[in-house]
Amino acid sequence: MIKEIIPSFQWVKTYHRSDFKNDLFAGLLVSIMLIPQGMAYAMLAGLPPVIGLYASTFPLIAYALFGSSRHLAVGPVALISLLVFSGVSSVAEPGSERYLELVLLLTFLVGLLQWVMGVLRLGFFINFFSHAVLSGFTSAAAMIIFFSQLGHLLGIKLPFQHSIVQLLIEIIPRIGETHLMTLLFGLGGIGIQFFLKWKLPRLPAPLLTVAASILLVYLFQLDQNGLKVVGHIPKGFPPCSIPPFRFETASVLLPIALPILFIGFMESISIAKLIATKERYKIESNQELRGLGMANFVASIFSGYPVTGGFSRTAVNYQSGARTSLASIMAGFFVLLVLLFLTPLFFYLPHTILASIVMVAVMGLVDVKGVRHFFKVKKLDGWTFVLTFLTTLILGSEKGILIGMVFSLLVFIWRSAHPHIAELGWLKKENLFRNLLRYPEATTYPGVLLVRIDASLYFANAGFFEDYLHRHLSEKPDIRWVLLDLSGVNDMDAVAIDTLEEMMESYRERGVHFLFASMKGPIRDLVQRAGWDKKYGNIFQYPSLSHALEEVEKSKKLEDLNRKPPHELDGLKKT
């Protein structure tokens, strides 16, 4: 029981000393990457940079103990930072005490919701989120994040805007206010990071960029010439307190917490599952919810803000040879050491360098390949991507993701209400029944309509099937038998059964009879409970279309005999 609650007990009991070196090295590299990113993402969230460091300590340890992934690197990420800022800034002024209080309560609320969903085993909800929606949202949010950092890059104080249109309207008229030194530093930071990633990908490009910029500012006192720096960062243990919980405030923050919860979970579990598949261990979605919930709960207590698993840091953790969750524990420990002893080193860190780190990090999130793939495979998924992308850019992150989700659900409902139905014919050479649209050479049977339904039947699509059948029987008035192949039907509801009964009663008056083939056991149980065996006999007991066709042939012969004159029947009796 305790192993299910705290999965870390499994790897602790079987831990090999030989893995410690790998975990230590991976934890060190992740912390080196996390320190500048944490500060940059906190600034993106409208928070002091030190809050990003607080969120990179104990939350990592909490996830390592309660999460199911051995490699996931939890911490601040760009998308969640954007959602925090765009949501809470509409309620309180960024930088104010009230703003920080709301962010801490929001973090607590996200953690609580994730934990409760994990306990109630609601991890299956991940299946209802279209990848096209998430990809479109991520791509648009990456562009909003990129442009939101232009103010820091140019040295212009700009109010945050929720859409890229508003951002550009705000920036373009003030482009003449650009602080040249700030711009050069920012562009230099971007250039250094790209160069190091290209030529020396193993080196921690963000940290080296931070170190070089701090050194330059300190040596030449560039902060005296208008270059804005981070300044004093509090040194010491993260402040510990439980955020005051008020239902009125929580109800205001709930609409902000939900997209953070969903997107954070999706981002986390997607990379966790990818690496777990390579390493041949299982990721349990409900345990992941509990692990992330505990990480955010701990973040709220230790003055952090919402965290989740990050793509780039997880990839670094894995590629660095991490074996267990001890690597995440070590990463949190190293960041804690920085907080205790090394924060004065970051006094001269320019804001524009933090902005350059964010901008470089989000450039890879624009999914150009993804949208091409969607349009190539399924155009409707491509348009779902485009709709989510454009609405997020124009209307903002919360409205964009909401519109994308609603549209994807409407697409799902439309697809469910329009199941694939095929008229079949017989291919003698292959000895199979096949769709006449794809195999027009297939043989049909006079007076018989063969139909295969490739979806479960329920209230939303029963009417569509009824219309399909009515259309085909109107076009072919000579049809006397309708044979339904139900091999693709896994379920029916009472409405679908009632619709089938009404159809059989209606068409029987016109001389059209129904037979059902390949009906699965659970469906047979349903129609038997509906009394079909008493009402219609064994019309639903045929194991295949071939067996149903044999019944049709027997009935046709019997009809032919009944039509013959009496003197011909006498001759048949003699033979």
| CB burial of residue 197 (10 Å; 0-12, 13-18, 19+) | middle
Which of the listed residues 362, 380, 411 is the one where a domain comes to its end?
411
* Alpha carbons 268 and 73: distance in angstroms, whole number: 9
Residue 354 domain-assigned? yes
* Alpha carbons 202 and 208: distance in angstroms, whole number: 12
Paired with 486 in beta bridges are: none
Domain limits for position 504: 421-574
CB atoms within 10 A of CB 209: 23
Amino acid at residue number 15: Y
**Looking at the structure, do residues 362 and 425 belong to the same domain, yes or no?**
no
What pLDDT is stored for residue 573 in this prediction?
A: 40
For the chain of 575 residues, list the mean pLDDT of each consecutive stretch of 10: 66 81 90 91 94 96 92 92 91 92 96 94 76 86 87 85 80 91 95 92 87 94 91 92 88 92 86 83 89 96 95 83 91 96 93 91 84 91 93 85 88 88 92 93 93 93 93 91 94 94 92 94 94 91 92 75 48 38
- Alpha carbon of 415 to those of 2, 133, 410, 492, 499: distances in Å? 43, 17, 9, 17, 20
**Looking at the structure, do residues 261 and 188 belong to the same domain, yes or no?**
yes
**Looking at the structure, do residues 486 and 353 belong to the same domain, yes or no?**
no
Strand bridging mode 513-517 / 481-485: parallel
**Looking at the structure, do residues 364 and 481 belong to the same domain, yes or no?**
no
Amino acid at residue number 161: Q
- Alpha carbon of 450 to those of 179, 436, 444, 543, 552: distances in Å? 75, 10, 8, 15, 12
pTM value > 0.75: yes
Residue of 131, 26, 15 lying closest to 374 (CA atoms): 131
**Looking at the structure, do residues 28 and 132 belong to the same domain, yes or no?**
yes
Which of the listed residues 373, 389, 411 is the one where a domain comes to its end?
411
**Looking at the structure, do residues 395 and 447 belong to the same domain, yes or no?**
no
Residue 2 domain-assigned? no
Which of the listed residues 372, 392, 411 is the one where a domain comes to its end?
411
* Cα 453 to chain centroid, rounded: 30
* Alpha carbons 191 and 353: distance in angstroms, whole number: 11
What pLDDT is stored for residue 97 in this prediction?
A: 93
* Alpha carbons 43 and 32: distance in angstroms, whole number: 18
**Looking at the structure, do residues 521 and 476 belong to the same domain, yes or no?**
yes
What pLDDT is stored for residue 32 in this prediction?
A: 87
**Looking at the structure, do residues 395 and 371 belong to the same domain, yes or no?**
yes
**Looking at the structure, do residues 435 and 395 belong to the same domain, yes or no?**
no
Residue 310 domain-assigned? yes
Q: What is the CATH number of the domain that holds 487?
A: 3.30.750.24
**Looking at the structure, do residues 378 and 451 belong to the same domain, yes or no?**
no
* Cβ 295 vs Cβ 74: under 8 Å: yes
What is the domain count for the chain? 2
Residue 248 domain-assigned? yes
The angle that helices 247-279 and 397-417 make with each other, rounded to 10 degrees, is 60
**Looking at the structure, do residues 383 and 484 belong to the same domain, yes or no?**
no
Residue 5 domain-assigned? no
Residue 511 domain-assigned? yes
- Alpha carbon of 531 to those of 458, 482, 495, 497, 514: distances in Å? 18, 20, 15, 11, 16
Residue 4 domain-assigned? no
H or E element that contains 25: helix 20-44
Residue 194 domain-assigned? yes
CB atoms within 10 A of CB 49: 22
Paired with 516 in beta bridges are: 484
Helix/strand/coil for 181: helix
* Alpha carbons 164 and 169: distance in angstroms, whole number: 9
CB atoms within 10 A of CB 37: 26
**Looking at the structure, do residues 352 and 207 belong to the same domain, yes or no?**
yes
Count, residues in the chain = 575
